[in-house]
Chain A
Amino acid sequence: MVENIQKPIFKIQNLSAFYGAKEVLRKININILSNSVTAIIGPSGCGKSTFVRSLNRINDLILNFRVQGKIFYHNKNIYDKDVDVVELRRKVGMVFQKPNPFPKSIYENIAYGLKIHNFIKKEMIDEIVEKSLKKAALWDEVKDNLKQNALSLSGGQQQRLCIARALAIEPEVILLDEPCSAIDPISTAKIEELIYELKKNYTIIIVTHNMQQAARVSDYTAFFLSGELIEFGKTEEVFKAPKDRRTEDYITGRFG
């Protein structure tokens, strides 16, 4: 990887987040580089999900949620009043912890994101559906059953369908919040492989509880603890020579 072509795509400055009066992220400062994989690790409840869910403002759906500080995406603060949230979410896609395909056919699941936004020809949609499913390594398994209901797929297939759904609208960034926690090891391996592939064209931020997974797939690792960013750096460095004692304790499994 050539270091110097990578620019920060997200610049996060003094980000604090609250559910009601409860502060769950405290003054986070971090830059996310484009075309890299950043892993977010940390014990349960430390604010990992809250952090990634702030990046596409999906947490706006939670009534008492509030942020302070700034998140620049391509030098535009996404919490500015004049930001088009719909457009932001099309650029910053997301895959959730539990697979959440729509109760529609496989085809419709992917076509949905295309249809809601612009008028495109049926052939175009067909093409993108196929391309997305191929990228998500699901095409071979479902190509004969595109009309089948997505809920009849296995958990691992559903999760890859959700990845395909996110890819179909051509985002720049993909947020993955523990994408493998609800699926079996074989599907997990497939998804890791996929992340490796996707890295070429996308910026990926992945939350994971699995240290090996973080070490395997990511270029950078951020370690969170009780709402604070404790350490951030190249994955090798964080894992081989952590600067902070707490990082080391967590990685070696001494707490959390």
Chain B
Amino acid sequence: MLLKRKPILKLKELFIERLLFLFSFLSVFTTLGIIIILLFESFEFFKEVSILKFLTDTQWTPLFINKHFGILPLLCGTFLTTLIAICVALPVGLVSAVYLSEYASLKLRAIVKPIMEILAAIPTVVYGYFALLFVTPLLKKIIPSLSGFNALSSGIVMGIMIIPLISSLSEDAMRSVPMSLREGAYAVGSNRLQVSFRVVFPGALSGIISSIVLAISRAIGETMIVAIAAGQQPKLTLNPFVPIETITAYIVQVSLGDTPYGTLEYRTIFACGMTLFVITFILNTFSFKLKRHFLEAYE
């Protein structure tokens, strides 16, 4: 008698459960929708431009009279800015993660962490103009041949932007390394540096790697900074001092222009989007595999 549930309660529970399900799948449906549109439009695109051409042509001039649809220059631009960003963010991010996790006092960490997180909350358009109007002129004093638009300053600023991503997530990973491991290391006569780099760091490697991959994905997908400060000239070059164009910057350029709906030029957006999607997908799979590898080894 006591144990019997009131039917109305059962209904309510069912309703709540359905509602929760709906909400949690909203994002899944959205993603699916995006992928379908991407696939459809790029399919239309590749009907007119062969994939081989797309992947091997060294020019990207869809908006010119003499049209070329080679993704390589854009890919190269993305690669270059991302590489510069990672070169900035990786050392700074990891060192500050080690410092915050293993050296800083509770008080200092309580101050520094929120500030770091604010860095991540600044709108990227601000970073873009920071790169264009501050970093580029500054760099020009050292490198006179630097163009007004270039990969270098946007890469550096992008690196600054993703530092908190790496430092914050890596710090979390390092702090979750059990205290008992540190004790074990100290008990055989390690100093703090040795404990940090030989025990805690490797112990947190899987988390650190995923923070780095996340940061790379973020750099690849970053749009505003490169659209503003890197120029809009698709060029197959690794020279960081000249204007280039990334995949994302190209998408912005076309979206903002007056390309008519349904044309081949318009569909390049989706081919580019698809390329980005594939890259991020590969990266995530790679990170997932690596993570599993380290989880097996360390837990």
Chain B residues, CB < 8 A from A58? 183, 186-187
A117–B194 CA distance with the chains assembled, in angstroms:
10
Task: Indicate whether B276 reaches chain A with its CB closer than 8 angstroms.
Answer: no
A19–B9 CA distance with the chains assembled, in angstroms:
50
Task: Indicate whether B188 reaches chain A with its CB closer than 8 angstroms.
Answer: yes
A116-B198, A149-B297 as given contacts; A102 in contact with B185, CB under 8 Å: yes
Task: Indicate whether A18 reaches chain B with its CB closer than 8 angstroms.
Answer: no
What residue of chain A has the Cβ atom nearest to residue B297's Cβ?
A149
A169–B189 CA distance with the chains assembled, in angstroms:
9
Task: Indicate whether B24 reaches chain A with its CB closer than 8 angstroms.
Answer: no
A56–B184 CA distance with the chains assembled, in angstroms:
12
Task: Say whether A116 contacts B189, CB under 8 Å.
Answer: yes
Task: Indicate whether B181 reaches chain A with its CB closer than 8 angstroms.
Answer: yes
B271 smallest CB distance to A (angstroms): 44
Chain B residues, CB < 8 A from A151? 298-299
Which of B163-208 touch A at CB < 8 Å?
Answer: 178-191, 194, 198-199, 202-203
A103-B203, A103-B298, A103-B299 as given contacts; A98 in contact with B180, CB under 8 Å: yes
B293 smallest CB distance to A (angstroms): 12
Task: Say whether A113 contacts B189, CB under 8 Å.
Answer: yes
Task: Indicate whether B256 reaches chain A with its CB closer than 8 angstroms.
Answer: no
Chain B residues, CB < 8 A from A113? 188-189
Is the interface on chain B under 10, 10 to 19, 20 to 34, or 35 or more residues? Answer: 20 to 34
A61-B182, A102-B199, A103-B203 as given contacts; A86 in contact with B298, CB under 8 Å: no
Q: Which of B179, B182, B189, B299 has the most CB of A within 10 A?
A: B189
A103-B298, A151-B298 as given contacts; A89 in contact with B181, CB under 8 Å: no
What residue of chain B has the Cβ atom nearest to residue A104's Cβ?
B202
Is the interface on chain A under 10, 10 to 19, 20 to 34, or 35 or more residues? Answer: 20 to 34
Task: Say whether A63 contacts B198, CB under 8 Å.
Answer: no
Task: Say whether A101 contacts B184, CB under 8 Å.
Answer: yes
- Identify which of A61, A63, A98, A104 contacts B186 (C-beta below 8 A): A61
A104–B184 CA distance with the chains assembled, in angstroms:
13
Task: Say whether B188 contacts A90, CB under 8 Å.
Answer: yes
Task: Say whether A90 contacts B189, CB under 8 Å.
Answer: yes
What residue of chain A has the Cβ atom nearest to residue B187's Cβ?
A94
A78 smallest CB distance to B (angstroms): 14
What residue of chain A has the Cβ atom nearest to residue B184's Cβ?
A100
Chain B residues, CB < 8 A from A70? none
Task: Indicate whether B34 reaches chain A with its CB closer than 8 angstroms.
Answer: no
Task: Say whether A86 contacts B190, CB under 8 Å.
Answer: yes
What residue of chain A has the Cβ atom nearest to residue B177's Cβ?
A103
Task: Indicate whether B118 reaches chain A with its CB closer than 8 angstroms.
Answer: no
Task: Say whether B189 contacts A89, CB under 8 Å.
Answer: yes
What residue of chain B has the Cβ atom nearest to residue A59's Cβ?
B183
Name 7 A/B residue pairs within 8 A (Cβ), A-sorted: A58-B183, A61-B179, A89-B189, A96-B180, A100-B184, A117-B189, A168-B188
Enumerate chain A interface residues (CB-CB to B < 8 A): 56, 58, 61, 63, 86-87, 89-90, 93-94, 96, 98, 100-104, 112-113, 116-117, 149, 151, 162, 165-166, 168-169
